[in-house]
Amino acid sequence: MSASVDTATATPVPTRRSRGETLRLYGRRLLRQPIATVGTVVFIIFLLMALFGPWIAPYGFEEQSIPDRLQSPTLQHPFGTDNFGRDVFSRIVVGARGIFLLGGTGTILAVMMGTTVGLISGYFGGLLDEILMRLLDVLLSIPSLLLALVLLGTVGPSLLNLILVVAVLYIPMIARVVRSVVLDLKTKEFVEAARIRGERDSYVLFREILPNALPPLLVEASMRFSYSIFLVASLGFLGLGVQPPSPDWGLQINEARNYLESAPWMLAFPALAISLLVVGTNLMSDGLRRVLQPGREDS
């Protein structure tokens, strides 16, 4: 039968659990989803690469060795070498840093600004809300890659600009999520209880509402991060992202196109890295959603 597990009937009330147990429960719930666990592990591996890349990488990412150019994978060069004899593995490891720096910082910025907008818009409502939401609608009415290209095309691709563009692109989505959570929470009785007590808006926003908006925010942020990887890589591929000789994955794929036949590993490994990280983050985000917001289907 297709009906979902009716928790009300499956587990009788009351469930009494200590807080530590609750955390362990989250952990167990996550581990019970092997796919999400795999995703999380993949994410963590890439995160470690990003943090410790230069120490992990056997060679410098810019270290050229002309005699060793275009070598297929060997023990010395597990992912082969590129047209300058640079170690593809090292470039991928160090490239993770760029992805996390761009996508991660961009996402964090977007989360910060989007959360602010969403909180203000949802909590105060009225004309301000109307204006903010219209503006976000406009941003949303332009496909994100298009907007990124137009913005980067005009301001030029620099690291800072890329981060800002990622942030600008994802503010609307984050703000919307936060706003809808706030709208929901705002009518919750505990928030009304705070207003009845005469709490300041800042207290209500940051102590009553924000902590409860964190789980969906976390899920959304991880989702956005996975999209930002995609975006940054696409921009790199189109030549409007990180500039060479940075070990950007999208850029590597772009460079690898000329070697599609002679050195397919130059394409395969960065592509694999992008896919693994995006899929891993997606899976993790999926798992997070199930752990933090049980009962809600993926949307």
Partner 1 sequence: MLSFIVRRLGFMVLTLILASLLIFAATQILPGDVATMVLGRFATEQALDNFRGEMGLNRSLVVQYGDWLFSFVQGDWGESLSTRADVRDLVLERLRNSAMLALVAFVMYVPLGIVLGVVAAIRRNSWVDHVISVGSLAFIGLPEFVTGLLLIAVFALRLDWFPSSSAIPPDAAFFDRHTLERLVLPALTISLVSLAYIARMTRSSTVEVLGMDYVRTAYLKGLSRSRVIGRHVLRNALLPTVTVVAIGIGWLIGGLIVTESLFGFPGIGRLLLFGIQRRDLPLIQATTMVIVVIFTMANLLADILYGYLNPRIRFR
Partner 2 sequence: MGMNFNRRRRRLSTVVVLGGVLVVLLSLLVLGCGGDEDDTAATDETTEVTSAEGDTESTEGDMAAVERGGVVSIGAQPATNLDPHFSTSIADIMLNHQRFDWLVELDQENQIQPGIAESWESNEDGTVWTFTLREGVTFNDGSPLTAEDVAYSFDRLRDPDVGSPVVSLYEGVSEISALDDTTVEFTLSSSNPEFPAFTADYHSAIVNSEVEDLTAPGGGAGSGPFVLDSYSPEDRASLVAAESYWKEGEDGEPLPYLEGLEFIFSPDLGGQVEALRGGELDFVGGLTTELVDTVEADEALQLLKVTSNMHYVLHMRADGDNPAADENVREALKLGTDHQQLVDAVRPGLAEVGNGFTPVGPSYGDYYLEQPPQRDVETAQQLLADAGYGDGLEITLTAQQALDVPAIATVWAEQMAEIGVTVNIETVPVDVYYGDGEQSWLEVPFGITEWGARAVPVNYFQLAYAPNGDYNESHWESQEMADLTQQISNELDRDKRVDLYHQAQQLMIEEAPIIVPYFEAGLAGAAAELNGVELATDWARTIFTNAYMAAAQ
Partner 3 sequence: MATTTETTTGRGSRNVLEIEGLSVAYRTEEGDIFPVRDVSLTIGKGESFGLVGESGSGKSTLAMGAIRYLPANGRVTAGRVLLSGRDLLSLSGKEMRSVWGSRVAVVYQSPGNALNPSIRTGNQIAEVARIHLGMSKQEAHQRMLEMLEKVKMPDPESVARRYPHQLSGGMLQRCVVAQAMVTNPELLILDEPTTALDVTTQAVVLDLVAELKQEFDSAILYITHDLGVVARVCDRVGVMYAGEFMEQGAIRHLFKRPLHPYTLNLLGCVPHFSLGPRRKTLNTIPGFIPRLDELPEGCIFAPRCSLAEPECRVAQPPLVRAGEDHLTACRRWPVVPTPAEHMDTITADLMQARGEAENRLLEARDVKKYYPVPAQGPFRKDKRKVKSVDGMTIWIDEGRTLGLVGESGSGKTTMARTIIGLVEPTEGTISLRGEVLGPTTRSRTRDVLRRIQMVFQNPDASLNPRQTVGQSIGRPLALFGTPRGEIPGRVLELLEAVHLSPSYYRRLPSELSGGEKQRVAIARAFAAEPDLILCDEPIASLDVSVQGSLMNLLTTLQAEKGTSYLFISHDLSAVQHLSDWVCVAYLGCAMEWGDAGDVLNPPYHPYTEALLSAIPIPDPDVIQKNIRLEGSVPSAVDIPPGCRFHTRCPRFIGDICVEEEPPWREGEGDHWIYCHHTFETLVEMQKETLRLADHDHGSPGVEVQV
CB 9 within 8 A of CB 252: no
* Candidate ranges 11-19, 89-97, 98-106, 271-279; the one touching partner 1 (CB under 8 A): 271-279
Instruction: Determine which residue in the list 183, 218, 238, 292 makes contact with partner 1, applying CB under 8 A.
Output: 238
CB 285 within 8 A of CB 222: yes
Show the site string, 28-67: x = touches partner 3 by CB under 8 A, - = not.
xx--x-----------------------------------
Which residues are 81's β-sheet partners? 87
Instruction: Determine which residue in the list 45, 149, 183, 292 makes contact with partner 1, applying CB under 8 A.
Output: 149
Instruction: Read off the amino acid at residue 7.
Output: T
Instruction: Determine which residue in the list 52, 275, 294, 298 makes contact with partner 2, applying CB under 8 A.
Output: 275
Q: Which does 190 bind (CB under 5 to 8 A by kind): partner 3, partner 2, partner 1, none?
A: partner 3
CB 227 within 8 A of CB 173: no
Contacts of 98 (CB under 8 A, 6+ apart): 232, 242, 246, 247, 248
- Cβ-count burial 184-220 (b if 16+ within 10 Å, e if not): ebbeeeebeebeeeeeeeeebbeebbbebbebbbbbb
Instruction: Determine which residue in the list 45, 47, 56, 70 makes contact with partner 2, applying CB under 8 A.
Output: 70
**Between 58 and 239, whose beta carbon lies closer to partner 1?**
239
Any contact of residue 297 with partner 3 (CB under 8 A)?
no
**Between 5 and 160, whose beta carbon lies closer to partner 3?**
5
Any contact of residue 4 with partner 3 (CB under 8 A)?
yes
Instruction: Determine which residue in the list 114, 241, 247, 250 makes contact with partner 1, applying CB under 8 A.
Output: 250
| Structure tokens belonging to residue 262 | 């002679």
Minimum gap (Å) between residue 4 Cβ and partner 1: 5
List the Cα angle 78/82/87 in 5-degree steps.
Answer: 40
Minimum gap (Å) between residue 82 Cβ and partner 1: 16
Show the site string, 245-274: x = touches partner 2 by CB under 8 A, - = not.
x---------x-xxxxxxxxx-xxx-xx--
| Structure tokens belonging to residue 218 | 């976390």
- Coil, strand or helix: which one is 59? coil
Query: Which of the 8 DSSP states describes residue 258?
Result: G
Binding site for partner 3 (CB under 8 A): 1-6, 8-19, 22, 28-29, 32, 188-190, 192-199, 208, 211-212
